[in-house]
Amino acid sequence: MAAKDTKKMEIHTCYTVKIKHQLDAVPDRKTKKLNISRKRRVDDRSMQQTAEICLEALRFCVDVALKEWDHVKAQERRRAFDILLHGSKKEAPKYPEFDIRFPNMPAYMRRALIADAIGMVKSYRSNHANWEALSPAVRGVEPKIGFPSRYELTFYDQERKMSNLAEGQIGLKLYNGKTWDWYYFEISASDAGYLMHLCKTRKMLSPVVDKVRGRYQIRFSFKEMRELVQDEDKLAYRILAVDLGINAAASWCVMKADGTVHAKGVIHLPCEEDRLNHRINRKRMYQQAGKKSHCVYRWIRNANRALSIETARKLIEVAVLYSVDCIVFEYLDSKGKIRGKKFRERIHLWRKNDVQKRVELQAHRLGMRLSRVCAWGTSKYAFDGSGMVDRHSIYHFEHGKKVYNYSLCTFQNGKIYNCDLSAAQNIGARFFLREYQKKGVTGFPSTPLRTLSTLREFVNNGLPVAA
């Protein structure tokens, strides 16, 4: 890689597990192991009652914050509101009805609700001040404080028990309508093993319980610190430029600032691509026959996700093989622009976004950086500077009709080349041209006309290149 001057970055990841059973169990006082008497379905009442009392307590905290906002300093709001609601050893609470309405609420839960209430009131007062600053003719409806319709059950340090995670058992403190008590749940052994594996290298944050399609699941979040390469001199980078195409999963090239291409290639995933195309065609058959096709959409999503995962894995393997410092993608600004019957194009756009997110996470974990450049004209213009390409020159006949091969194109000089591979080299060149422009170098053509030939031409004319 380039220089060894590194900076730390905080990376957050998430892993969701499904709750299999609720356990009627009592922990042993000495060994802390659970004595299980019965396994049953998850009780909805305890989950719903906990969410309802948290939502009600949040409304109470918001009302108190609105009343006392001007009397408390900004730096002391959390502590001050906690004393107003719950009091301390030396000071009685100003609003004792909080402890009467919500008895024995865990301290972490109460403080989290206070923090949420402070954020809601701060946003409301800011919106209201902006509304008052406008003239009555254009200010519109007076803003109101927005209360959430549901509350995510978040379990902090003292509200969860993870000592029996190796056996796939988790304890959560829930409200049963009268008091807060411990409830125990079972997850699969594979999920428990993977969670223990993640805890060895990452810090576990507060898990969240939510209900998806009638089943409860626990969302575990993890935090880790990674060191990224320096970003002061990006001209010293060795980059991996990637073009995510329709004809192939991805095309890539490894490049330096002087325009030297160290390696290039095309990633083909025929099994995953055929599976996706087969399921898209199956959806069309279902719709033509008038059958319900909601399950087919799930098949398509799963096949598209599998293709994204495999593409990201291949790209990371290439990045590690050539020890690149930065991975460069095309900037995708096409949300909401692909409509109508172009379902295959929408699937392709979703996969592009998914691949970039997965590669970004893995690249940061390996210390690499990620950048994006404008994609206008990367496939339209040849990388060798010969001008616009012709994508309708390569074809064959099937049943008397022309079938074009859009993966190949013809340059103005007659050269036949892979269109996506040419675009990948233009993407890499635009990254370095942008860095030169930031350093004050002028004379570049407009962004859609910048190609690898442009970079090499300016370097040959004496453009400074990092060693």
Query: What tokens were used for 142?
Result: 């007076």
Please name which of 161, 204, 215 lies closest in space to residue 183, comparing C-alpha atoms.
161
* Residue 429 clears pLDDT 90, i.e. is over it: yes
Rounded Cα distance between 270 and 307, Å, is: 10
The set of residues, in sequence order, having a beta carbon less than 8 Å from that of 107 and lying 6+ positions away, is: 158
What share of the chain in percent tops pLDDT 90? 54
Angstrom distance (rounded) from CA 39 to CA 53: 26
Mention every residue, 6+ apart, whose C-beta is less than 8 A from residue 36: 23, 24, 25
Neighbour count for residue 190 (Cβ, 10 Å): 10
Per-residue pLDDT tens over the stretch 341-361: 566 656 777 788 889 999 999
* Per-position DSSP letters for 153-219, written without gaps between them: EE--GGGEE-TTGGGTEEEEEEE-SSSEEEEEEE--HHHHHHHHHHHHHSEE---EEEEETTEEEEE
**Which tokens is 259 given?**
């325009």
pTM score, whole prediction = 0.80
Q: What is residue 467's predicted lDDT score, i.e. its pLDDT?
A: 46
Least confident of 42-51, 64-73, 175-184, 394-403: 394-403
Query: By three-state DSSP, how is residue 386 classified?
Result: coil
Please determine, for residue 246, whether its predicted confidence score (pLDDT) is greater than 80: no
Q: How far apart are CA 11 and CA 366, in angstroms?
A: 11
Q: List, for residues 364-385, the tens digit of each pLDDT value.
A: 999 999 999 998 889 899 998 8
pLDDT at 28: 86
Mean pLDDT of 407-434: 92
Strands (E), 298-406: 326-330, 369-373, 395-398, 401-404
Query: 288 vs 333, which has greater pLDDT?
Result: 288
Cα-based distances in Å from 345 to 88, 247, 341 = 61, 12, 9
Is 420 within 8 Å of 407 (Cβ atoms)? yes
Backbone angles phi, psi at 463, to 5 degrees: -70, 130
pLDDT for res 398: 82
Q: Which residues face 255 on adjacent strands?
A: 239, 261
Task: Convert the pLDDT of each residue in 63-93 to its tens digit.
Answer: 999 999 999 998 899 999 999 999 888 889 9
Q: Which pairs from 42-45 meet CB under 8 Å and 24+ separation?
A: 42/185, 42/216, 43/183, 45/176, 45/177
